[in-house]
């Protein structure tokens, strides 16, 4: 089967990075602004203070750049989503062949190792890691004011294909140099060289493209420190 140029770029697990242009730079700029924020930088426990400080820093960043938009600016919000998961509602834009994905109001995806929402900084960092190591092209579009509640709107390329099987996903991660970690009912993949920990690598989040290439679309990625890094050291390697 023939592979498209984009599939070839992503098939090697991040050996070739994609330049997402201005929008991707916005993603990196927002995450960097939050990381440099004195209050957000001090609150590293992932609790309410960390969430609140990162939220405020994200708002400050967006206000300075005029990137806070109203829900009415995006007509697709008025129609039923084309897809939905635990973290986003999604709408397909046929003209660009991309998905528009909005976080749920005042939530920023799933957190690592704790219940509830991730912080804005954790969420943005995860997207940056997916772009860097899995050669994706996730772009930050805007922050959307939805009835005084905040949603992060991103876009991501469409991948034609079918869900990869568990066996195919496992084989693919092993081929990329990851180890499978298991502790109780938690399964993740870890590559020590980059200190890269990946979860949510299930059939719904990895697509086998029409060219036969496995492409992740929604992984939960982190470079662990502290207790999470301790968990890696104690987890069972499968």
pLDDT at residue 6, as a whole number? 54
Sign of the torsion angle spanned by Cα atoms 13, 19, 20, 24: positive
Instruction: Report the alpha-carbon distance of residue 140 to residue 234 in Å, rounded.
Output: 36
Position 24 confidence tier, pLDDT thresholds 50, 70, 90: low
Q: pLDDT tens for residues 155-166? A: 999 999 999 999
Looking at the whole model, is its pTM more than 0.75?
A: yes
Average pLDDT over residues 44-56: 81
pLDDT at residue 17, as a whole number? 35
Q: pLDDT tens for residues 84-93? A: 988 999 999 9
Of the listed ranges 130-139, 152-161, 177-186, the least confidently predicted one is 177-186
pLDDT at residue 20, as a whole number? 39
Position 187 confidence tier, pLDDT thresholds 50, 70, 90: confident
């Amino acid at each position: 089967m023939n592979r498209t140029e984009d599939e070839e770029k992503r098939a090697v697990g991040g050996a070739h990075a994609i330049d997402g242009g201005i929008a991707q730079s916005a993603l990196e700029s927002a995450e960097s602004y939050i990381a440099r924020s004195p209050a957000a930088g001090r609150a590293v426990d992932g609790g309410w203070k960390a969430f609140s400080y990162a939220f405020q820093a994200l708002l400050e960043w967006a206000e300075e750049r005029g990137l806070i938009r109203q829900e009415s600016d995006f007509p697709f919000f008025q129609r039923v989503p084309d897809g939905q998961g635990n973290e986003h509602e999604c709408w397909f834009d046929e003209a660009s062949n991309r998905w528009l994905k909005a976080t749920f109001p005042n939530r920023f995806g799933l957190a690592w190792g704790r219940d509830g929402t991730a912080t804005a900084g954790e969420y943005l960092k995860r997207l940056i890691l997916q772009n860097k190591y899995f050669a994706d092209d996730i772009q930050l579009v805007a922050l959307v004011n939805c009835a005084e509640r905040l949603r992060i709107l991103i876009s991501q390329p469409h991948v034609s294909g079918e869900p990869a099987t568990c066996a195919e996903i496992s084989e693919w991660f092993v081929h990329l140099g990851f180890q499978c970690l298991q502790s109780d009912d938690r399964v993740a993949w870890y590559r020590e060289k980059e200190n890269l920990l990946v979860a949510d690598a299930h059939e719904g989040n990895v697509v086998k493209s029409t060219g036969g290439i496995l492409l992740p679309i929604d992984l939960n990625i982190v470079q662990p420190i502290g207790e999470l890094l301790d968990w890696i050291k104690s987890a069972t390697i499968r």
